[in-house]
Each structure stands twice: as structure tokens, then as C-alpha cells.
Amino acid sequence: MIICQQVKKDFLARGTMTPLHWEIEEFTVTARESVLITGPSGCGKTTLLNMLSGLLRPDSGSISIQGIKLEMLDIARLDIFRGGHIGMIFQSFQLLSALTVAENLLLGARFGRKWTHHEALEHTEMLLREVGLWDRRTHRPGELSIGEQQRVAIARALINRPALLLADEPTASLDAANVTTVLDLIFKLCGENDTTLVTVSHDTSIASRFSRTVNAGNWLHSREVSHV
């Protein structure tokens, strides 16, 4: 599913803006596996997710998703591949405030280019019922609680039944009860669609839910550099 080889990237650590350099000799994730990536702030967890999605290019090295080398795709083809094969749950949700809950999902479906409009409507209804928000479908994100917004973000990320789901701190802003609800939803929906899950989080208490945990501090070998 995922093969990273000799991936190198210079970046600025979040918060401290310290110039850092790291490299991954090899990192693999098998199909339908669930992997939790932990590590201290600024070690490059979100940077890695952005590179796995193709939103950010590594300085060198190779990243393959489902046998497709991302570095071989131009921007247009990368956008198409991402829309059809990769779902993303952003830490800040990235819901469009001007759109309703249903419209946010339908927009995600359009990027996937998999469904007719009628099929997209059916999938939107199915997912919103699954996450318990069908009765809130005409509301806008600002009218929802944080937990409800997170559930919308999960549904949108999975609207195209992606082979890979990338989740950035999906439980960071939730209380304990909502953490359990959100993780239950993510694992249930990923299981139903045979979706591979890669999550980054500071919360090591959720590690038991995943098939494997990787400490980014151990394999993202950081060191200061003179420039970025």
C-alpha cells in the first residue's frame, strides 16, 4: 500500500521554527493496516502525512501509494489520484463554512470523480446516517459542535471509499467520550471499505486501537541545518 524509500525533507519545526532535516530510509504500510505515528511536536508527523497525500513533495526519495510513484505524477494527475484514492482528516477539519454539511460531502465526492450525482447523493445520505448527522445535513459547520464537525470531516474523507485514509490528530480537540465515538467511527468505516489507516497523534493512550505504532522520533532523524 505505502512504500517510502530514502525520503528526505528540510523543514521548519512548528512553533520553534527551527530548521530541521530528516530522512526515512524505509517506511512501509500494508493494505488494510492501521498505523499510529507518534512523536514530539515539530518532528515532522504532519509533514509526513502531507507528503503521503502528495500535498507536499519530498526533497528527494520515492513515495509509492498502491504501486503509483507520486513523484512521477504532475500536479493535475496527482490531484486526480488523491481525489480517488486518498481521504484526509485535517486537524482543523477544513470544512467550508459557506456550505451545508451535505454540500461539504458532495464537494468531496466531486473531487473523487467516482460517482454520478445520484450516486453521490446516496453515499452522502448513507454516511451522514452512519455518523448520526443526517438530521443536521442542512446545517452549516458553524452551527455544529466540535464533535459533530469532526464526524462530518470523517464522513467527507471517506465519501469516495478511499484505499488510504490519512488522519492528522483526529481526537486532539475532543473530550474523552467523543474520542471513543470518533475512533469507533473511523475504524468501523475503514473496516467496511477495506481502507488502510495512517494516523498521527500526540495521544499515546489510543495506541491499543491500532495494529502498529511508530515513534516518529526514532525514525525521523532530525538535526539542525544551516538553511532550509
Domain residue limits, the chain: 2-224
> Of 58, 69, 78, whose CA–CA distance to 2 is shortest?
69
Give the burial class of 110: count Cβ atoms within 10 A of its Cβ; 0-12 exposed, 13-18 middle, 19 or more buried: middle
Confidence of residue 224 (pLDDT cuts 50, 70, 90): low
CA–CA separation, 62 and 7 (whole Å): 6
CA–CA separation, 190 and 186 (whole Å): 6
Mean pLDDT over 39-59 rounds to 88
DSSP state of 13: P
Q: What is the pLDDT of residues 15-38, one digit of tens each?
A: 667 777 778 889 999 999 999 999
CA neighbours within 13 Å on the CB side: how many for 71? 14
pLDDT at position 227, please? 47
- Are the beta carbons of 133 and 148 closer than 8 angstroms? yes
Mean pLDDT over 163-169 rounds to 96
- Are the beta carbons of 34 and 201 closer than 8 angstroms? no
Considering the chain, what is the average pLDDT of its residues? 90
Which range, of 10-19, 54-63, 144-153, 158-167, averages the lowest pLDDT?
Answer: 10-19
Judge if pTM exceeds 0.95: no
- Are the beta carbons of 154 and 182 closer than 8 angstroms? yes
Q: Classify 186 as helix, strand or coil.
A: helix
The count of other CB atoms within 10 Å of the CB of residue 43 is 24
Which range, of 11-20, 98-107, 111-120, 124-133, averages the lowest pLDDT?
Answer: 11-20
Specify whether domain 2-224 bears CATH 3.40.50.300: yes
pLDDT at position 138, please? 98
Confidence of residue 118 (pLDDT cuts 50, 70, 90): very high
Angle made by CA atoms 188, 167, 88, in degrees to the nearest 5: 95
pLDDT at position 221, please? 55
Find the Cα–Cα–Cα–Cα dihedral 116, 117, 122, 123, rounded to 10°.
70
Confidence of residue 74 (pLDDT cuts 50, 70, 90): very high
What are the C-alpha distances in Å from 216 to residues 38, 60, 140, 211?
A: 6, 19, 36, 16
- Is the pLDDT at 228 greater than 50? The verdict is no
CA–CA separation, 108 and 124 (whole Å): 10
Confidence of residue 13 (pLDDT cuts 50, 70, 90): low
